[in-house]
Amino acid sequence: MDATKREIRNLECQLSFREASPEEATEGYLGTISGRAICFGVESQILDDFGMKFREVIAPQAATMEFLNTQDIKINMLHNRELTFGRIKRGESQTVVLSVDREGVNFMVKVPNCDLGIRARELTKAGVYDGCSFEFWPDKYDVKEREGEIPVVTHTKFRAITALTLGMDPAYLQTSLSARELVESTDTYKARKAEEERLQAEREAEERERIQADMKRRERIMAMNAIEDEELEKLNY
């Protein structure tokens, strides 16, 4: 697992929407969405990190309240920063509340009365968004090999948690919302990998063509210089 690469995990959870109180409505909120964003001690479904299959576990010490209070965490939809409708920065927020218990990290976000908020509310109430994702940068983790079984990666420390996302396709069936895009070796993953390989091949072909064109240009210049030198030499005689 690459510590320089952002990771995303999707979790299935019981998201709930509560209608705004009269006071909240006058403040411009539709209500609140709440759920569990991270589950502790629960094995994920099979993940595939470019050919390396594994299951994953989040240890409680990886996401303590003390650690969360040092982070800048956005609340958005489908991992899209342009669909952000909440934020908690170093433990301070007027719209987002995080809490940690024995089972994991929970969140509650006030939903603003705007296009984004209406979308989040309606898709959550309709059950379209049935999970939560969390985006993170790994730091410390242990890998446990199991004979005849897929290895388990246990995260004990995150370098950063950057977002909680309303989404779908859970990697952890016990959660509410989460994010890890590398979910099982599905046709989507294979298609994405094939597209990456195709683009890489195109870049390499373009580079080869550029180098060949540059070499031909230099050869033409050298040939022209040789002709000019020859003509000058004739004139001197």
State the average pLDDT over residues 54-72.
94
Does residue 1 belong to any structural domain of this protein?
no
Does residue 32 belong to any structural domain of this protein?
yes
Together in a domain, 192 and 166: no
Task: Name the pLDDT band for 178 (thresholds 50, 70, 90).
Answer: very low
Together in a domain, 123 and 145: yes
pLDDT (tens digit per residue) in 135-148: 888 899 998 887 77
Backbone phi, psi, residue 95, to 5°: -125, -15
Amino acid letter, residue 65 = M
Does residue 155 belong to any structural domain of this protein?
yes
186 pLDDT higher than 50: no
Together in a domain, 95 and 180: yes
Residues 76 and 86: their CA atoms lie apart, in Å, by: 7
Does residue 2 belong to any structural domain of this protein?
no
- Supply the pLDDT for residue 71: 95
| pTM of the model as a whole | 0.65
Residues 100 and 114: their CA atoms lie apart, in Å, by: 29
Residue 151's domain comprises 7-185
Q: Give the chain's end-to-end CA distance (angstroms, integer).
A: 72
Hey, is 59 helix, strand or coil? coil
Q: Rounded mean pLDDT of the chain?
A: 80
Together in a domain, 198 and 90: no
Residues 6 and 41: their CA atoms lie apart, in Å, by: 21
Together in a domain, 31 and 120: yes
Together in a domain, 223 and 213: yes
In the chain, the number of structural domains is 2
45 pLDDT higher than 90: no
Please list the residues that pair with 96 across neighbouring strands. 109
Together in a domain, 165 and 198: no
Q: Are strands 149-167 and 52-58 parallel, antiparallel or unpaired?
A: parallel
Task: Name the pLDDT band for 114 (thresholds 50, 70, 90).
Answer: very high
Residue found by looking up tokens 């948690």 in the block = 161
